[in-house]
Amino acid sequence: MSQKEIDILKRALNREKLARKQAEQILEDKSKELYSLAEELRESNEKLEELVSESSSELKGVFQNLVDAYILIDLNWNVIKMNTSASNLVGEENNSEAINAFEFIHVDEQKNAKKAFNTLLEKGSVSNFITRVRPNDKDIDLVSINVSLIYNKNNQPIGAQAIIRDITLETRYNNNLEAQKQKYTNVIANMNLGLIEVDLEDRIVMINSSFEKMSGYSEEEIIGKKGKELLVPEEQHEFFDKKVEKRVDGISESYEVQVLDKKGRKKNWLISGAPNYDNSGKLVGSIGIHLDITELKKLEKQKEILLAQLETSNNELQEYAHIVSHDLKSPLRNIHALLSWIKEEEEGNLKENSLTHIDLIENSLEKMETLITDILNYSSVTSDGKDDQLVDINSLIEELHKIIIVPENVKIIFLTELPNLRGNRVRFQQVFQNLIGNSIHYMDKEQGLIKVGVEEIPGFYKFSISDNGIGIEEKNFEKVFKIFQSLTERKGSSGIGLTIVKKIIDHYQGEIWLESEYGVGTTFYFTIRK
């Protein structure tokens, strides 16, 4: 090896020794610095411990009396001290001071928690930091954290204090409340009823979309305007003011009012108004629900016109029925009289077959006259007649004995005293005359028995007329109430009697039905409003 190479090697060794010496010095200096920092941290922790342990300190008083969770941590998130509420919050299994508060944060929230901690170091405090926590045996999901730094005498941060509040139930309640609010907001916005809210000066503060459609005004056009001046015709102002005064007095009511929409068209609205109060119970205005009844009013007007026309037509029909009845009965009576004269004049000259034919003609004439009378009675059931008379049914049936011929083998008994009914005497007479007359007409027993009874039920009298006559088969129960539906060919039956009865019962808002056993007897029931 040459001298030159040896010199180069020596210089390299010297540089290496110098670098090693410098590294050792740097390492020694860093070790002293780390030791100094560790010592300072130890002293800081001791000072935190002293702050907590001093029984006379203000911090300990707060510590003991706070309802919320209170935690002291160092700058590495290590828990120095916690109160009872904090122990309960983290759970009994974590009731130890040798835990790291960071472990309490949900894994999905730890990134945000680190950002919040950096903000804490930068600004000295963080308020209302909302985060999720790790699931435990308690029903806790969300907490709100308020945290601030603790400083030493040299104004150096040595730790932090945090107040933690469980807001799980509060958050759920608020979420549910918001959901319900949104739900009813959607209902209000989309319902077919117009909703409006006004203040004490009748200035509009809120409307829904249905009210926009009803009035023709958009929300921008109508908010802040007075409803009376914008929508109500001047001639309706006094009426409208009286309704507003009632709402100010706390009175709720419904009423009809005529309004003008944006295009000046007259509309009829049904308004249900009520006073509006704030949370403290102070009157702040009123709320109105509006239903557009314009078309309904038109229909009511048309209905009135139709009813008037119908009444006129009914009166004309009644007159026509009486005229037709008279015109039809006159030739029948004439035919009957002519047949009687022929029988008298040709007495002894007529053959037996001719007499039989004349009898058949007379029977047909009688049946025709009965049919005409019953048709007239049926058409007159709901025609003119006083319907507010107080009718004594007992005396009415006594009078029926003069009209109805009761055979000697038939007995009529009354199970109870009959009441007085308010209505038309003639109509009630037709009911009992037809029902009792039918029982007599269709009696096939040697000893006939007809029972008339009544009982009171809520709002009605329930009458019953029963007999031990021929009875009616069940398949014919509904048929007997239909016009011209006679179940037999007996003389004097037109098939209209029970139809008249049903029409009268319907007129008095009652019902009629029957129970019967063929060959045993029949009971008709009907109700009349008290």
CATH code of 285's domain: 3.30.450.20
List the single range of 25-29, 397-401, 515-519 with lowest mean pLDDT: 25-29
Q: Residue 66's pLDDT is what? A: 58
Domain assignment present for residue 30? The answer is: no
150 and 131 fall within a common domain: yes
In 219-288, which ranges are continuous DSSP H helix?
Answer: 219-222, 227-231, 237-248
In 417-490, which ranges are continuous DSSP H helix?
Answer: 425-441
- Domain boundary (245, 267, 292) is at 292
In 346-441, which ranges are continuous DSSP H helix?
Answer: 352-379, 393-403, 425-441
463 and 413 fall within a common domain: yes
> Can you say whether the dihedral through the CA atoms of 167, 172, 177, 179 is positive or negative?
positive
108 and 150 fall within a common domain: yes
For residues 59 and 115, which has the higher predicted lDDT (pLDDT)? 115
Domain assignment present for residue 120? The answer is: yes
400 and 513 fall within a common domain: yes
Given a cut of 90, is residue 527 above it in pLDDT? Answer: yes
140 and 242 fall within a common domain: no
357 and 425 fall within a common domain: no
Given a cut of 60, is residue 103 above it in pLDDT? Answer: yes
- Domain boundary (133, 167, 201) is at 167
Q: Residue 1's pLDDT is what? A: 59
Mean pLDDT of the chain: 78
Do residues 522 and 514 touch, judged by C-beta distance below 8 A?
yes
- What number is the average pLDDT over the span 484-510? 71
- What number is the average pLDDT over the span 362-388? 64
- CATH number of the domain residue 497 falls in: 3.30.565.10
Given a cut of 70, is residue 100 above it in pLDDT? Answer: yes
Tokens encoding 453: 């009874």
Given a cut of 50, is residue 274 above it in pLDDT? Answer: yes
Residue 259 phi, psi dihedral angles, 5° rounding: -130, 170
pLDDT band at 55, cuts 50/70/90?
A: very low
Helices 497-507 and 352-379, packing angle to 10 deg: 10
> Which residue in 374, 371, 421, 412 sits closest to 393, CA to CA?
421
Domain assignment present for residue 159? The answer is: yes
396 and 470 fall within a common domain: yes
Given a cut of 60, is residue 56 above it in pLDDT? Answer: no
List the single range of 262-266, 297-301, 313-317 with lowest mean pLDDT: 313-317
347 and 404 fall within a common domain: no
Domain holding 83, by residue range, is 54-167
525 and 474 fall within a common domain: yes
Domain assignment present for residue 438? The answer is: yes
Domain assignment present for residue 523? The answer is: yes
Given a cut of 90, is residue 492 above it in pLDDT? Answer: no
pLDDT band at 22, cuts 50/70/90?
A: low
524 and 393 fall within a common domain: yes
Q: Helix (H, G, I), strand (E, B), or coil: what is residue 397?
A: helix
Given a cut of 60, is residue 139 above it in pLDDT? Answer: no
- Percent of the chain residues topping a pLDDT of 90: 15
- Token pair 């209505």: residue: 423
Domain assignment present for residue 220? The answer is: yes
Domain assignment present for residue 43? The answer is: no
70-95 pLDDT, tens digit per residue, is: 888 888 888 888 887 777 776 644 44
348 and 414 fall within a common domain: no
User: How far is Cα 271 from Cα 240, in angstroms, rounded to an integer?
Assistant: 11
Burial of 306 (0-12, 13-18, 19+ CB in 10 A): exposed
Given a cut of 50, is residue 58 above it in pLDDT? Answer: no
Tokens encoding 176: 């549910």
- Domain boundary (292, 312, 334) is at 292
Whole-prediction pTM: 0.38
User: How far is Cα 377 from Cα 494, in angstroms, rounded to an integer?
Assistant: 12
How many domains in the chain? 4
Q: Residue 172's pLDDT is what? A: 79
Query: What single-letter DSSP state applies at residue 234?
Result: G
246 and 273 fall within a common domain: yes
Query: What single-letter DSSP state applies at residue 152?
Result: -
Domain assignment present for residue 350? The answer is: yes
